[in-house]
Amino acid sequence: MASTDYLPTSDTDKAAWLQNVATKLPAYMNVLNLTEDDLTQVSRDSEMFAYTLNLLNIIKQSQQNVTAFKNLLKHQSGNQSLSAVPALPVMPEAPTMVAAGIFDRTRALMQRIKNSAGYTEAIGQDLDVVPAINTIDLNAICPTLKGSLDVGRPHLKWNKSEADAIDLYADHADGAGFHLLGRFMRNEYLDVTPVPAGKAAEEYKYKAVYVIGDAQVGVMSQVFSITALRA
């Protein structure tokens, strides 16, 4: 059984992990022979990374609002009406700027901590820098596709599990059957393939298989179907 990396995969989980380190590290300052600069750097890195993720969420929501406005501007939907152009978001004040490579230097600091004479397994558990044990059978892993409509377009999501990526296939009801959309390291995909002319909606189907390194592993997922709408 191999050990997995202690650093989470998703950016949201990375932010939570780094905040935990920044919060708990001061208690171990003396026993681990850390400096005030070490603590300040981790704290500022945590603040900046969380701030950047928040900015992305604000921008994404703003984009969705403008897209919905644009679509309603083109074609009325039910009793919906327009009142005003969506306002641009007000961005929160940025924290202290930090250098590039937040998780590069944090990894280096964690290695320094593990090499410290005062380091214990209990400290490692508290800082969440002890890798978990991987007991997953890679021959049996299988993606589970989920999805919803984003302005009529299929927005697919999946759990990355232990894989590096997935190969995602789609059947756009064009008679060609399933074809490879691509290899995706992120865990979501927005399919912008237009619904065929003359149709208001069409059922699209998807399936996927995990990839580690350059090779497909595990089992092909069940087919996920969703009805795409004409914009």
Q: What is the DSSP string of the chain?
A: -EEPPSS-SSHHHHHHHHHHHHHHGGGGTTTTT--HHHHHHHHHHHHHHHHHHHHHHHHHHHHHHHHHHHHHHHS--TT----SPPPPPPPPPP-----S-HHHHHHHHHHHHHHSTT--HHHHHHHT-SPPEE---TTT-----EEEEETTEEEEE---TT-SEEEEEEE-SSSS--EEEEEESSSEEE--PPPPTT-SEEEEEEEEEEEETTEEES-PPPPEEEEEE--
Residues 127, 25 share a domain? yes
> How many domains, the chain?
2
- 140 occurs within a structural domain: no
- 141 occurs within a structural domain: no
Q: From 134, 159, 188, give the residue that closes a domain.
A: 134
Band of pLDDT at residue 1, cut at 50, 70 and 90: very low
49 pLDDT above the threshold of 70: yes
Band of pLDDT at residue 133, cut at 50, 70 and 90: low
Residues 113, 10 share a domain? yes
Compute the average pLDDT of residues 4-23: 92
Residues 151, 47 share a domain? no
Residues 126, 163 share a domain? no
pTM over 0.85: no
Residues 128, 26 share a domain? yes
Compute the average pLDDT of residues 169-181: 95
Residues 31, 92 share a domain? yes
- 110 occurs within a structural domain: yes
Band of pLDDT at residue 132, cut at 50, 70 and 90: low
The CATH number for 201's domain is: 2.60.40.10
Compute the average pLDDT of residues 45-64: 95
Residues 67, 26 share a domain? yes
Q: Taking all residues of the chain, what is their mean pLDDT, rounded to a whole number?
A: 92
Q: CA 188 to CA 154: how far, in whole Å? A: 10
Q: What percent of the chain has pLDDT over 90?
A: 74
Residues 93, 17 share a domain? yes
Structure-model confidence comparison of residues 209 and 139, the more confident one: 209
- 88 occurs within a structural domain: yes
Residues 50, 14 share a domain? yes
Range of the domain at 30: 2-134
pLDDT given at position 2: 47
